Amino acid sequence: MQKKGIILSGMRPTGAMHLGNYFGALENWIRLQDEYDCYFFVADWHALTTGYEDTSEYKNNISNLLVDWLSAGLDPQKSVLFVQSSIKEHAELHLLLSMNLPLSWLYRCPTYKDQLKQLKEKNITTYGFLGYPCLMASDILVYKADFVPVGEDQLPHLEVTREIARRFNFLYKSDVFPEPQPLLTEAKVLPGLDGRKMSKSYNNTIALSDSPDVVQKKVMSMITDPARIHKTDPGNPEVCAVYAYHKLFSEDEVPEIESMCRKGEIGCVACKKKLAQNVAKFMTPIWERRQEWLKRPDDIRDIIKEGNSKAREAASRTLSDVRKAMNIDWI
């Protein structure tokens, strides 16, 4: 099958993957690997930009992220799976691109000031955090990616990468870098168990590593319509986290569930029991595959070694082109 081009994307190893991560990105990656030449990487250097003070769990987080990827359906026969820090060409390209990157481009990045406010308990007024867009551009451009799967809120970040590629090609009168195009994806957004954004920091997630029993218990603990006191009270599905999950896990039953809720014909406990069964049914195969992968650490290491090798080969070719364009290939 003729592939449509090269795709690059990555995830930070910051803890257990949850359903929000799965439907926000991983589900799409699994589909894309059949259509594109995909490079998917563990963004461990990116994790350092906000988590450099405590790296005690980094190795475990990387291992668990890889297990989650393989259990969910990423196929090393279809995609190149690798660890960012194993490919030193990312760092070299980051250095070279930073030489001609205007500081104003970094300061205007839309999330820079936002994250400074959101993560004010952390000391992230660092060069690494400010230079995050340059490292991201290096990740993408070192594989000459044609497409990057993003949501609309991430378009400004990708535009910085495109500007960096254009500036390099202009300054060095070359066509080394293609301008990566956004592959817009409509992410399926799931709220957390308490109705807030699903986040590990809120402790309101359903993890891919949760057993079927734990999944069902978590679903039964979910927050429903706070205005609904009695089982026969009319409910408002739009403010209920359980209903948001039904739209993903009980698609065929959604019209009936919505109608019964609004009429007070189904109680919240019964509604959650129905959802718990459907979520567990979806997640149990992932959990079972995960138990098998956990028994095969050497195989996982071999998969990543092979992925690192393929990624390094591609990145090395790009760096050769970059050095030649910049006239720093004297030897």
Q: What would the two tokens of residue 313 be?
A: 């080969």
Q: Residue 187 pLDDT > 80, yes or no?
A: no
Q: Residue 181 pLDDT > 70, yes or no?
A: yes
Q: Residue 3 pLDDT > 80, yes or no?
A: no
Report d(CA 241, CA 244) in Å as an integer.
5
Say which amino acid occupies 309: S
In the chain, CATH 1.10.240.10 covers 210-291
Range among 26-35, 48-57, 109-118 rated most confident: 26-35
How high is the pLDDT of residue 122?
78
Q: Residue 331 pLDDT > 90, yes or no?
A: no
How high is the pLDDT of residue 273?
96
Report d(CA 233, CA 243) in Å as an integer.
16
Q: Is 194 exposed, middle or buried (0-12, 13-18, 19+ CB in 10 A)?
A: middle
Q: Residue 113 pLDDT > 80, yes or no?
A: no
Q: 183: pLDDT confidence band, cut at 50, 70 and 90?
A: very high
Q: Give pLDDT tens digits for 65-77.
A: 999 999 999 999 9
- Summarize the confidence of residues 211-224 as an average pLDDT: 96
How high is the pLDDT of residue 1?
61
- Summarize the confidence of residues 106-116 as an average pLDDT: 76
What is the average pLDDT value for the chain, to the nearest integer? 93
- Contact status, residue 152 vs residue 184, Cβ threshold 8 Å: yes
Q: What percent of the chain has pLDDT over 70?
A: 97
β-strand 6-11 against 181-184: which pairing, if any? unpaired
Name the class of domain 210-291: mainly alpha
Q: 120: pLDDT confidence band, cut at 50, 70 and 90?
A: low
What residue spans of the chain are helical by DSSP H? 19-21, 27-32, 44-51, 58-72, 89-98, 103-107, 110-118, 127-130, 132-141, 155-171, 212-220, 241-249, 254-263, 268-294, 297-326
Write the CA distances from 61 to 15, 44, 56, 97, 318, integer angstroms.
5, 9, 10, 29, 29
Q: Residue 204 pLDDT > 90, yes or no?
A: yes
Range among 143-152, 169-178, 199-208 rated most confident: 169-178
Q: Residue 8 pLDDT > 90, yes or no?
A: yes
Q: What would the two tokens of residue 284 be?
A: 């149990």
- Summarize the confidence of residues 296-313 as an average pLDDT: 98
Report d(CA 119, CA 50) in Å as an integer.
8
Lowest mean pLDDT among 24-38, 133-147, 149-163, 205-219: 149-163
In the chain, CATH 3.40.50.620 covers 6-190+297-326
Q: What percent of the chain has pLDDT over 90?
A: 80
Q: Residue 153 pLDDT > 90, yes or no?
A: no
How high is the pLDDT of residue 210?
97
What residue spans of 142-253 are helical by DSSP H? 155-171, 212-220, 241-249
Q: 320: pLDDT confidence band, cut at 50, 70 and 90?
A: very high
Name the class of domain 6-190+297-326: alpha beta
Lowest mean pLDDT among 78-82, 129-133, 209-213, 320-324: 129-133
Residue with tokens 């963004």: 43
Residue with tokens 């990624």: 311
Report d(CA 211, CA 288) in Å as an integer.
9
How high is the pLDDT of residue 107?
87
Lowest mean pLDDT among 54-58, 140-144, 169-173: 54-58
Other Cβ atoms less than 10 A from the Cβ of 242: the count is: 26
Other Cβ atoms less than 10 A from the Cβ of 61: the count is: 21
Q: 263: pLDDT confidence band, cut at 50, 70 and 90?
A: very high
How high is the pLDDT of residue 227?
87
Q: Residue 116 pLDDT > 70, yes or no?
A: no
